[in-house]
Amino acid sequence: MIIISSYTRDEKYFSNPEIFDPERFSIENKASLYPGAYFPFGLGPRRCVGMRFAQTQIKVCMMKLLSQFRVEPSENTPKQLKCEPKRMLQEPKGGLRLNLIRRH
């Protein structure tokens, strides 16, 4: 199961908010983001103390996974994801089916 952190889908903060675009958070684009539009760990002096640890863990986990597997959509992967809007942690309805293909 893949869990997508809650984020705004308002077009005044993100162009094409329903499109998965990790580049919108790149170093080059980060300065153009509205500061309060995306804050998975909170903001200001009360933000999560585990933020840096969590981000490091995510990066290490993804590096290990992607160094050993290629991730591709399967025939059951929906073309557009539909999420339950009333949940704090958003996840695709019905899950997200992907193929993991071992690298040689």
Residue 88 belongs to a domain = yes
**Residues paired with residue 70 on neighbouring β-strands, in sequence order:** 101
Tokens of 7: 């984020």
Residue 4 belongs to a domain = no
| Helix (H/G/I), strand (E/B), else coil: 101 | strand
2 pLDDT higher than 60: no
pTM of the complete model: 0.56
Percent of the chain with pLDDT strictly greater than 70: 90
* Counted domains in the chain: 1
Do the beta carbons of residue 44 and residue 35 sit within 8 Å?
no
Report the candidate in 82, 75, 80, 83 with the shortest Cα–Cα distance to residue 99. Answer: 75
Domain that residue 86 falls in: 22-102
pLDDT on residue 61: 95
Whose tokens are 């640890």? That residue is 53
Higher model confidence: residue 6 or residue 19? 19
